[in-house]
Structure 1
Amino acid sequence: MGVVLPFDDSQPKGESIEPLVRVTAAGMERVNQVILERTGSQVALIPEVARYLIDSGGKRLRPMVTLAAALACGYRGSGDVKLAASVEFMHTATLFHDDVVDESDTRRGKRTARLVWGNQESVLVGDFLLGQAFRMMVEVGSLEALDVLAVAAATIAEGEVMQLGTAKNTETTEDEYIDVVRAKTAALFSAAAEVGPIIAGADKATRAAFRSYGNNLGIAFQLIDDVLDYGGASATLGKNVGDDFREGKVTLPVVLAYRRGTDEDRAFWREGLVEGATSEAALHRAIGLLARTEALTDTVERARHYAARAIDALAPLPATPAKAALLEAVAFSIRRAS
């Protein structure tokens, strides 16, 4: 089942992150080299486990955002590379931890590290990557950038705990769910975008613009992921379709469908998400209820709202190839649901 919704008729068709890839190509080559260097350890299991996930095909959108934001602000040093690598390590560490907490079996089409090596190993390698991330932040020498990323790390952890409270909780409200997304996902996008202008010496208004851009991009990106879980392709989503349902996750489509459904519908959601009745037949019925209540369509509409805010945030900035690439990345985040 696909959700075919145009982002905006005024937007050019076929948006992708290719412009972002091109504008950050030189920087990402150095980021990848740093990643290889910093996953080295005398403890043989650490680089083995870390590279298993790092090499598994993620888009590395967050570090590209850091590099492009720095470029858009005229930065020409080397600190952006270490900060971008730090952002990627933070993201990878959260994936290790998420898979253990969620008991996930698949990540980006591969078995999760916890299945290959074990939960303890996954958590500890995630901790190693966080440690390496903070070492690089210190090496850059910007206390402001360090503060922004440290706050993001704490916020992400808070988001993980908040998500435990919403998991299997069908009474979760839309505002409560967005709060989880803002902490768990958008915080790192926001920090990734803000540290670029920080090391470029940009003014507070510019920093705030990139912070807003990253925050709203992160929310939009997650909401589209929520939609794709019930109608996307595994290759696009990076996990099996229906995993959120099987894991009892209450995401925005479920929040909307639960509110709008009949008593019988709500009983079904409770049986599936709370009691674990998540067979393939149940998943098929869930998708049908989401379609009937227009929950997927409206979740995409919510994502479009946040995407528009991300675009508006950068409107005052001068036109540059880096800015254009960042704006196209926003449109791409929405078109993944087409």
Structure 2
Amino acid sequence: MSDTVVPIKRGPDAGLPSLSPILSLTATSMNAVNAIILDRMQSEIPLIPALAGHLIAGGGKRMRPMLTLAGAEVVGYQGTRHHKLAAAVEFIHTATLLHDDVVDGSETRRGKETANIVFGNPATVLVGDFLFSRAFELMVEDGSLKVLKILSGASAIIAQGEVDQLTAQRRIETSEERYLNIIGAKTAALFAAASRIAAVVAERPEAEEKALDDYGRNLGVAFQLVDDAIDYDSGTSEMGKDRGDDFREGKMTLPVILAYARGDGEERRFWQDAIAGFANEDADLAQAVELIRRHDCVTATRDRARHYAERACDALSVFPDSAARRAMVDAARFAVSRGY
């Protein structure tokens, strides 16, 4: 393979980015992954599959396991080991969502009640633990210490990121740098690991592992930036959670960090009260959205996301042109153009 790296550019007639190519690319393998997920979420304790299925069957883009499957395509892997590992990735992600909803006190996700509302907090936490355990069983069955190191390391980083976000909550002084560190840990780490393990199972060179890691990491940052922008720029029907959840929870996401930095004295006082939890009614959310709109903070957040998405695309330049590479590029560009 050539060592020459040529940035991937989008032609003027390339059309709108779409998830369709990567969905088509991974469809057959995703069926196998879904079968593993369905099988491994079973238990003789009926509450476990009922609660796990409430979230797993509730939709979602399956973006993280899809990256493992697409990565395997781009490196030309012909085996099936990545199916179990993609399922492990989805279990890790699902476990973190269950735990997050308990921590945040969330009431809806993907348009329906969260598991913690339906089944209660204790059961939700414990089933999240069960799914983490299932993920590690799948990793051990694969037998690769390197894969185990990558995914277990990512799991630890995700937990650290969630704790860091918790300690930054309701702190108006949170910097953009700290925010990026938080989303790099709580979101991008699993994107990176999910992508990288495809090259590991294919026994590809370190440079290809790093390329997939860079792709996933930058895509993960872009993905989270857009999620945080959408919270102030979209209706509930387009989102996986209620509009304004971040605002009411006092999370310092980039739109808020930028609005606070760009605001005058009166606006800053509003943000101080809002983030501290003293102004979180619907009227306060409407004012927050207006201030963010006034200072173009959603646009600025999406612009940053676009930057990271292009870095993700450029990371794939070490691979020869193929349908798989083009699908992964399109997925990265779709991630920043989406409204949900």
The one of 99, 118, 135 equivalent to 2:101 is: 99
The one of 276, 300, 308 equivalent to 2:310 is: 308
The one of 43, 54, 69 equivalent to 1:41 is: 43
Alpha-carbon distance, 1:12 to partner: 2.9
Which amino acid counterpart does residue 241 of structure 1 have in structure 2?
R
Query: What secondary structure, in the 3-state scheme, does the structure 1 residue paired with 2:318 have?
Result: coil
Which amino acid counterpart does residue 145 of structure 1 have in structure 2?
V
Q: Would the alpha carbon gap of residues 287 and 125 (structure 1) be closer, same or farther in structure 2, given more than 3 Å must change?
A: same
Asked if the contact 1:246–1:276 (Cα under 8 Å) also holds between the matched residues in 2, the reply is: no
Whether 1:265 and 2:267 are equivalent positions in the alignment is yes
Query: Over residues 236-264 of structure 1, what are the superposed CA-to-partner deviations in whole Å (9 max), with x where a residue is unaligned?
Result: 32111111111111100000111111111
- Where do residues 1-338 of structure 1 align in structure 2 (5 Å cutoff)? 10=12, 12-337=14-339
In 2, Cα distance between equivalents of 1:226 and 1:337: 11
Alpha-carbon distance, 1:74 to partner: 1.1
In 2, Cα distance between equivalents of 1:326 and 1:60: 14
Unaligned runs of 5+ in 1: 1-6
Query: What secondary structure, in the 3-state scheme, does the structure 2 residue paired with 1:24 have?
Result: helix
In 1, Cα distance between equivalents of 2:251 and 2:107: 15
Which amino acid counterpart does residue 197 of structure 1 have in structure 2?
A
Query: What secondary structure, in the 3-state scheme, does the structure 2 residue paired with 1:315 have?
Result: helix
Query: What secondary structure, in the 3-state scheme, does the structure 1 residue paired with 2:317 have?
Result: coil
Alpha-carbon distance, 1:13 to partner: 2.9
- TM-score, length of structure 2 as denominator length: 0.95
Q: Would the alpha carbon gap of residues 174 and 9 (structure 1) be closer, same or farther in structure 2, given more than 3 Å must change?
A: farther
Query: What secondary structure, in the 3-state scheme, does the structure 2 residue paired with 1:171 have?
Result: coil
Q: Where does residue 4 of structure 1 map in the other structure?
A: none
Query: Over residues 134-155 of structure 1, what are the superposed CA-to-partner deviations in whole Å (9 max), with x where a residue is unaligned?
Result: 1001111111111100000000
User: Which one is further off, 81-90 or 277-286?
Assistant: 277-286
Matched residue count: 332
In 1, Cα distance between equivalents of 2:103 and 2:177: 23
In 2, Cα distance between equivalents of 1:103 and 1:296: 25
User: Which one is further off, 286-295 or 189-198?
Assistant: 286-295
Unaligned runs of 5+ in 2: 1-8
Which amino acid counterpart does residue 181 of structure 1 have in structure 2?
I
Asked if the contact 2:85–2:139 (Cα under 8 Å) also holds between the matched residues in 1, the reply is: yes
In 1, Cα distance between equivalents of 2:299 and 2:61: 25
In 1, Cα distance between equivalents of 2:265 and 2:158: 35
Query: What secondary structure, in the 3-state scheme, does the structure 2 residue paired with 1:314 have?
Result: helix
In 2, Cα distance between equivalents of 1:131 and 1:312: 35
Which amino acid counterpart does residue 291 of structure 2 have in structure 1?
L
Q: Where does residue 3 of structure 1 map in the other structure?
A: none
In 2, Cα distance between equivalents of 1:150 and 1:18: 31
Identity, % of aligned pairs? 49
Q: Would the alpha carbon gap of residues 320 and 96 (structure 1) be closer, same or farther in structure 2, given more than 3 Å must change?
A: same
Asked if the contact 2:65–2:194 (Cα under 8 Å) also holds between the matched residues in 1, the reply is: yes
Query: Over residues 273-307 of structure 1, what are the superposed CA-to-partner deviations in whole Å (9 max), with x where a residue is unaligned?
Result: 21242111111111111111121111111111101
Asked if the contact 1:168–1:274 (Cα under 8 Å) also holds between the matched residues in 2, the reply is: yes
Which amino acid counterpart does residue 207 of structure 1 have in structure 2?
E
Q: Would the alpha carbon gap of residues 75 and 153 (structure 1) be closer, same or farther in structure 2, given more than 3 Å must change?
A: same
Which amino acid counterpart does residue 177 of structure 1 have in structure 2?
Y
Query: Over residues 207-234 of structure 1, what are the superposed CA-to-partner deviations in whole Å (9 max), with x where a residue is unaligned?
Result: 0000000000000000000110011233
Asked if the contact 1:27–1:67 (Cα under 8 Å) also holds between the matched residues in 2, the reply is: yes
Query: What secondary structure, in the 3-state scheme, does the structure 2 residue paired with 1:241 have?
Result: coil
Q: Would the alpha carbon gap of residues 13 and 235 (structure 1) be closer, same or farther in structure 2, given more than 3 Å must change?
A: farther
In 2, Cα distance between equivalents of 1:233 and 1:20: 27
Alpha-carbon distance, 1:10 to partner: 4.1
Alpha-carbon distance, 1:9 to partner: 7.8
Asked if the contact 2:233–2:298 (Cα under 8 Å) also holds between the matched residues in 1, the reply is: no
